[in-house]
Amino acid sequence: MKITPAFPYAAWATLGTETWMLGFEAAGVIAARMHGFAWSKPGSDREATRMVEEKLHALAELQWAMMTGAMGTTPLAISQKTVDLYRKKVGANRRRLSR
């Protein structure tokens, strides 16, 4: 959506929607993981380790992007790229866990 004087906060509203979707998708991944843990699915111990490794890797990736200036210079750009990064990670987990 093009930002016009009539909609100066449209980008922030879109970011809010994307953030909400991130939370919704992450809840689905958490539910899938907890289902596997509760029923002791084969590989659930590896999933627990992988979960922590992925979180640390995503954090390091985000910090590196911040330090190198790849995230942008405005609070909006930084927020958008942060949400985009985490939505990609969560989406990959959702697809992998739904197999």
- Residue 84 domain flag: yes
**Domain total in the chain:** 1
- Residue 82 domain flag: yes
Residue 81, pLDDT > 80, answer yes
In whole numbers, what is the pLDDT of the chain averaged over residues? 90
Domain range for 64 is 53-99
Q: How far apart are alpha carbons 62 and 66 in whole angstroms?
A: 6
- Residue 66 domain flag: yes
- Residue 24 domain flag: no
- Residue 72 domain flag: yes
- Residue 95 domain flag: yes
- Residue 7 domain flag: no
- Residue 29 domain flag: no
pLDDT at site 98: 87
pTM of the predicted structure, to 2 decimals = 0.83
